[in-house]
Amino acid sequence: MAAGGRSSGDPLSPAGVPCAFSPQSQALFALASTDGHLRVWETANNRLHQEYVPSAHLSGTCTCLAWAPGRLQAKESHQRKKRKSEAIGTGDQADLLALGTAVGSILLYSTVKGELHSKLISGGHDNKVNCIQWHQDNGCLYSCSDDKHIVEWNTQTCKVKCKWKGDNSSVSSLCISPNGKMLLSAGRTIKLWVLETKEIYRHFTGHATPVSSLMFTTIRPPNESQPFDGITGLYFLSGAVHDRLLNVWQVRSENKEKNAVMSFTVTDEPVYIDLTLSENKEEPVKLAVVCRDGQVHLFEHILNGYCKKPLTSNCTIQIATPGKGKKSTPKPIPILAAGFCSDKMSLLLVYGNWFQPTIERVALNSKEPHMCLVRDISNCWMPKVETAVTKVRTPVMNSEAKILVPGIPGHRAAIKPAFPQTEELESKRKLGENEVSIEERLGAMDIDAKKEKATRPQTNSFPVLLAQGLESNDFEMLNKVLQTKNLNLIKKTVLRMPLHAVIPLLQELTKRLQGHPNSAVLMVQWLKCVLTVHASYLSTLPDLVPQLGTLYQLMESRVKTFQKLSHLHGKLILLITQVSASEKTKGATCPEQKAKLVYEEESSEEESDDELADKDSDDNWDEDEEEEESEKDEDVDEEEDEDAEEKDENGEDRDVTSEKELNGDSDLDPENESEEE
C-alpha cells in the first residue's frame, strides 16, 4: 500500500492541505494546516494525539510531509538503546515524520517523544520544498524544491549526501521504485533516475502542467516469463495541477514509447491519491483519488497494456450535511483524504475542516456507482484537545466550589446550598396539597434578579458575554463588552474568545466603525487586537475577502481622506497660531515712561492761541457773517469822515501794516481789503 498527499494550488482551498496516514496500520493521521500547526490524530477514536507548532510556523509553513517507512522504524528501534524510563512497546515505535517548509528547511518530528527530532538545513534547498520521499531500506531522505534541485539527505548525520539538478524548472514530485534503485522525478517532464550513478534512465512526456503526484502501482511486471531487472515492465501513476486526467505509464526496455498507456478521468484536480499495489498480473489495482471539489473517486482495473479510452470511476463518494427544515438545503462537506484499510475492502475517510477533521471508516460496496453520506458536523467546531495518555481524577466538591454550567466554556456559577424550604415543598407534593406557586419555586431556587443586574461582569466572563452577545445580537450585552477602554482587558478577551466568533465580531466592529467618531476610537482598538491575535486563523479562511469586503472599503475610504485631512489640519494649526499671536500683540499695554527732557518753542503759546481762535470762528461762523454786514453799513457812513484822517495817518498806517505782516498778525478781512482798493 502506498499513500501520498501533497498540497498544490490555492492554500486556502478546503482540500489540498499536506496530510498522510501513518504506514503502521494507519493508526495515526498527520495534517499540516495552513496556519503552520502540525496535528496528529488517532484514526480509531478521532482524537487529537499531538500538536506541534514550529518556531517559524508563520514564515516557513509546512508544504509537504511524509512518514518514515515501517520497516526502517523497526530497524532503528532495535538498534537504539532504551532506558528504563523510556520503555516503549513494539506497537509504539519511534514514528518519524518529515516536514518540508516554504523556506527550504526540512524538520524531522518524533510522534513518540512529541518534539523535534532533528533539522536538515545546511547545504540543502534555497526555496520551497515540494515533495519528500523516504528510502525504504537505507534511511535516506530525498527532497525536491522550486530551486530545480534534488537532494539526498543522510538522516543520521543531518547532512547532504548528494545534490543534483533535476530539471530546468522547479521539481514538483518524487517517487522511489519498489526495489529502491530508481527514482522518479517530475517537473514539466517525468524523469527516471538511477540512484547509484544519478543518471537519467528514461524520459516521459504527456502533462502540460507541473506534475503534483507520482507513485508506482505494480511490484511485478505482468509478463513473468522474462527475467525481471527490478524496473522494466512496472507501471506508475502521475497526476498534474489543473489536470482532470491521471496518466498511467509503463517502464519498457526500449526507449521509443514515451506516452502514457492509459488514463483515469476524475471531476477535478487530484489532491490526494491512495492505492493498493498489484503484486501479480491477475490482481487489480484499487485506486482512491480525492479531488479538489471534495469528492472521492474509486477505480479498480487490471493493468495489462495499452488502453485508448480514459477509464471512468467505479464508484464516487460524497458527503453532505442534512438539510434541516424545508428551506435549508444540504451543503457538501469536503473530503480531505482517503486511505484503504488493511483488508482492502473498507476506506478511511477524513472530512470536514482541517482544524477539526472527522475520521470515519466506510465499507466499500462495489455495486453502488455513487454514494452520498449524510453527516452532521455542526457540533464539531471546538477541537477536542486531549492527549493519548491521560489519567482523569474526579475532585472532591464542597459547597464553596464553582462548577461549569453546561453551555459555553468559561461560564461559571456558584453552588447554592440546599434551603429548608425545598423539604417543605416536597412534603406538600407528597401530601397532595395545592400546587406550589411560582413565587415559592423562585424563592427555593434563590434567584434574585436585582442582584444579577447590579453585579458587574467579571474579567473572566467577558469572552462569554461577547460570544453570547454576537450569537443573540444583544445590543446591551455587546455594549457592556465593547465600551471598555482597558487595553489589557481587550487583549485578554480577544485571546480567550472562541474562533467561530472572530468573523461575527469583525462584522460587528465594521458596523460600529461607520457610526459616531467617538465610538470608532474604541472600535479601532478592538479591531487591532483581533487582527493581530487571530491573523493565522483569518489567513486560512477561503472566503475572507468577501466576508470583510465592507471593512476593506471602509479602511480604504478613510485612508484616502487621511492625507487631505492632515494637510488641512496643518493649515488650520498655522492660522490659529497666527491669530493668537496677533491678539497677544494687540492686548499688550505699553509701560508708562516719564520723559527725561521736554523742549518747548517760543511761539508755541501764540500758535495755540491762534488755533483756539480759529476753532471759535469755525464754530460761530453764522454770527461772524451778521457782524460783518453791520460793519459794512457803518463803514459806508464813516468813509467820508475817515478820508481826511486817512490822509494824515497814511504814513503811520504803512508802518503798522509792515510790522503786522512781518509778525503774521494781519487783522484786515479780505472784503475790507477789496473795498479799500
- Stronger pLDDT, 422 or 215, i.e. the higher one: 215
- Stronger pLDDT, 252 or 571, i.e. the higher one: 571
pLDDT at residue 615 tops 60: no
Residue 283 pLDDT: 82
Condensed to tens digits (0 to 9), the pLDDT of residues 644-653 reads: 455 455 555 5
At 655, is the pLDDT very low, low, confident or very high (cuts 50, 70, 90)?
low
Mean pLDDT of 249-277: 85
Residue 637 pLDDT: 55
Q: Report how far Cα 376 is from the mean position of its chain's Cα atoms.
A: 27
Residue 172 pLDDT: 92
Residue 626 pLDDT: 56
Mean pLDDT of 572-601: 79
Q: What is the mean pLDDT of the chain?
A: 76
The percentage of residues in the chain with a pLDDT greater than 90, rounded to a whole number, is 25
Mean pLDDT of 573-602: 78
Q: For cell 505699553, what's the residue?
A: 590
Indicate the SS3 state at residue 40. Answer: strand
Condensed to tens digits (0 to 9), the pLDDT of residues 59-112 reads: 778 999 999 987 655 455 455 444 433 333 333 335 799 999 988 999 999 988
At 539, is the pLDDT very low, low, confident or very high (cuts 50, 70, 90)?
confident
DSSP per-residue string spanning 290-321: EETTS-EEEEEE---S---SPBPPSEEEEEE-
Residue 181's region, left for phi above 0, alpha for psi from -120 to 50, else beta, is alpha
Q: How far is residue 301's CA from residue 257's CA, in Å, rounded to a whole number?
A: 22
Candidates 182, 201, 217; CA nearest to 304 is 217
pLDDT at residue 606 tops 70: no
Q: How far is residue 88's CA from residue 94's CA, in Å, rounded to a whole number?
A: 9
Q: How far is CA 652 from CA 100, 197, 498, 562, 641, in A?
A: 136, 152, 126, 95, 18
Residue 481 pLDDT: 87
Condensed to tens digits (0 to 9), the pLDDT of residues 369-390 reads: 898 999 888 766 544 444 444 4
Residue 572 pLDDT: 93
At 672, is the pLDDT very low, low, confident or very high (cuts 50, 70, 90)?
very low
Condensed to tens digits (0 to 9), the pLDDT of residues 316-362 reads: 999 998 877 666 788 899 999 999 998 888 999 999 988 889 999 99
Indicate the SS3 state at residue 76. Answer: helix
Cβ(234)–Cβ(249) under 8 Å? no
At 547, is the pLDDT very low, low, confident or very high (cuts 50, 70, 90)?
confident
Residue 585 pLDDT: 85
Which cell numbers in the block locate residue 305?
A: 497494456
What is the model's pTM?
Answer: 0.55
Residue 596 pLDDT: 74
Element (H, E) at 101: strand 96-101
Candidates 166, 146, 51; CA nearest to 101 is 146
Vertex 190: Cα angle to 187 and 194 (nearest 5) = 115
Residue 42 pLDDT: 92
Condensed to tens digits (0 to 9), the pLDDT of residues 117-157 reads: 899 877 889 999 999 999 988 889 999 999 999 999 998 88
Mean pLDDT of 189-195: 91
Mean pLDDT of 603-624: 53
Counting Cα atoms < 13 Å in the Cβ hemisphere of 46 gives: 14
Q: How far apart are the first and last CA of the chain?
A: 149
Which of the listed ranges 73-77, 223-227, 255-259, 532-536 does the model predict with the highest average pLDDT?
Answer: 532-536
- Stronger pLDDT, 493 or 223, i.e. the higher one: 493
Condensed to tens digits (0 to 9), the pLDDT of residues 412-467 reads: 444 444 444 445 555 555 555 556 677 777 776 655 444 444 444 444 578 888 88
